[in-house]
A and B are shown apart, each in its own frame.
Chain A
Amino acid sequence: MTMDENDFLIDLPSAEEKQYTTLNLGPTHPATHGIFQNVLTMDGEVIVHAEPTIGYIHRAFEKLAERRPYNQITPLTDRMNYCSSPINNIGWHMTVEKLLGTEIPKRVQYLRVIIMELARITDHLVCNAVIGVDTGALTGFVYLFQQRELVYEIYEEICGARLTTNIGRIGGFERDFSQKAWDKINSFLKNFPAVLKEFESLLSRNRIFMDRTIGAGGITVERALNYSFSGPNLRAAGLDYDVRVANPYSSYEDFDFVIPVGKNVDVYDRFMVRQEEMWQSLSIIKQAIAKLPEGPFHAQVPEFYLPPKQDVYNDMEALIYHFKIVMGETDVPKGEVYHCVEGGNGELGFYLISDGGRTPYRLQFRRPCFIYYQAYPEMIKGSMLSDAILTMSSMNVIAGELDA
């Protein structure tokens, strides 16, 4: 049999019969830090359509909260954004204090600011380290996680736990910060700036990093607002909305800090906004320590704050309060209140409706991650797969907050 040139012609698809591949960026994937699924329809390497599926770690927080007394809900709030759990805890405590109408002493407010800014630093450390890892720069990850260990030690001195802290109480803190805690905070403030500078020098002006991240994963400010973005993602889009400045809580109005805002909304801007926010958080902590007033470390909320053990053994009233707090039998005034704090990802809100019982009637968590992740298909349309991975990690999607 002789072969002629027609045997070598391959059937090329015509322009109308373009074939798309379906790729499952499945729930378990090394690059998705957290479990959520994206079914991508791709034209070669370019993404045409994305269909996200979440709920793989839905733990029914809102239903659980309807059955738990108020101080038992704090460990639940820990596990939402677990990279910066003190912010969630303190936000919840402030919501209950708003419902009760308690006045919080100045010292407590300043200590809360110190803890919340430390938590914000740890959250941004994880996010920036992970952006580095997704571009292939694993060194930064190792350096920054070492610094997280130092912050874990500070949390351990104050509340006993490393990650899911359950820090503080309704009304303040369980004990004043010990001298050892202050030593650790001061040594962290002394040593951390050098490490952060080293991390910056590794990545911020690195040719390869900049080529990978500039221009990837953008969204316009109008679409971002329409999708109810908040936090560093919105600030990288160019809008300076920060709950600490718009609705100041816990004496944030006493501190002098700058809100970093980006220009082009891409992965590089989000990285740099978070980087600058860490420097601002360090400055806030220094100001808080310098201006720290003396005073009690908790407010007078006897129905929620455990009395000292000496009083429990000697005083009848303290014994009754202790019993009622531990068994969760305290009744709360009726009302509905909304309080928001600036979490690591944006406006973390708690909408609490109380019907006068010992547990909330309805508690809705306004989770920033859940709200801005719905813009993800729009952000990656038309980009390559590796840019999509970078976009996801730069948005700091934390699965616990996504599904709650």
Chain B
Amino acid sequence: MQTVANTSGVAMGEKPPGIEGSGFFATSLEKVVGMARKNSIWPLPFATSCCGIEFMATMGAHYDLARFGSERLSFSPRQADLLMVMGTIAKKMGPVLRQVYEQMAEPRWVLSVGACACSGGIFDTYSVLQGIDRIIPVDVYVPGCPPRPEQIIDGVMKIQTLVENESLRRRDSAEYKAMLNKYGIE
């Protein structure tokens, strides 16, 4: 088996295990789809408060999030893969968040950034939703108030691990549907 040596100095991604020959590379479909998806996640930044400013710093030149494939932020739920909820969600905003989540097309992931989105944060009050996982299912939680951009990037990388290793049949499976039913989403 002959492979071309990498002399350009660019770090290449891990090749999934497979059988290689001259002109072909055979592996399982899930691995290829996972690899393609994880490097091109289009986030929907649902930035409400202070964590939104840290997100803007993450998208800036210093802590570039675009390196991970998230160059194109989509503000339309139909075209987004990852819902990044950053900031406090008040009870008035809950139905809006729920509607945005329901409009997203499968496969979709949710990243909850900041203490307020994870659990209500320091605002244990009558008007703040104590954690968005009361209304939508969450995949990765990033704690912090606000989390540093490195932490947000770490959260996105954990989402990437989830995306890479997800089975193609997961979204049609009975357990997934049961989980969505728990939140009242059909």
Direct contact of A and B (CB under 8 A): yes
With both beta carbons as reference points, the residue of chain B lying nearest to A31 in the complex is identified as: B75
Interface residue A57 (Cβ < 8 Å from any Cβ of B):
yes
Report yes or no: B57 in contact with A145, Cβ–Cβ below 8 A: yes
Contact of A56 among B57, B90, B122, B126 (CB under 8 A): B90
Report yes or no: A162 in contact with B125, Cβ–Cβ below 8 A: no
Tell me the interface secondary structure of chain B in the complex: loop
A-B CB contacts (within 8 Å), total count: 89
Query: Complex Cα distance A34/B48, Å?
Result: 6
Query: Complex Cα distance A35/B48, Å?
Result: 6
- Chain B, interface residues (CB within 8 Å), range: 20 to 34
Q: A27-B96, A145-B60, A164-B145 are in contact. Are A59 and B50 (CB under 8 A)?
A: no
With both beta carbons as reference points, the residue of chain A lying nearest to B45 in the complex is identified as: A30
- Chain A, interface residues (CB within 8 Å), range: 35 or more
Report yes or no: A64 in contact with B123, Cβ–Cβ below 8 A: yes
* CB within 8 Å of B: which A20-58 residues: 26-30, 33-35, 55-58
Q: A75-B122, A145-B57 are in contact. Are A28 and B46 (CB under 8 A)?
A: yes
Interface residue A12 (Cβ < 8 Å from any Cβ of B):
no
Q: A28-B100, A29-B75, A149-B62 are in contact. Are A60 and B57 (CB under 8 A)?
A: no
Query: Complex Cα distance A379/B17, Å?
Result: 62
Report yes or no: B49 in contact with A399, Cβ–Cβ below 8 A: yes
Interface residue A299 (Cβ < 8 Å from any Cβ of B):
no
Interface residue A79 (Cβ < 8 Å from any Cβ of B):
yes
Interface residue B179 (Cβ < 8 Å from any Cβ of A):
no
CB proximity of B61 to chain A, nearest CB, Å = 5
CB proximity of B178 to chain A, nearest CB, Å = 29
Q: A56-B96, A60-B128, A146-B61 are in contact. Are A400 and B90 (CB under 8 A)?
A: no
Interface residue B185 (Cβ < 8 Å from any Cβ of A):
no
Residue pairs across A and B with Cβ atoms less than 8 A apart, 13 shown, are: A34-B48, A56-B92, A57-B48, A57-B93, A64-B125, A76-B122, A82-B49, A83-B53, A141-B60, A145-B62, A146-B60, A146-B62, A149-B57
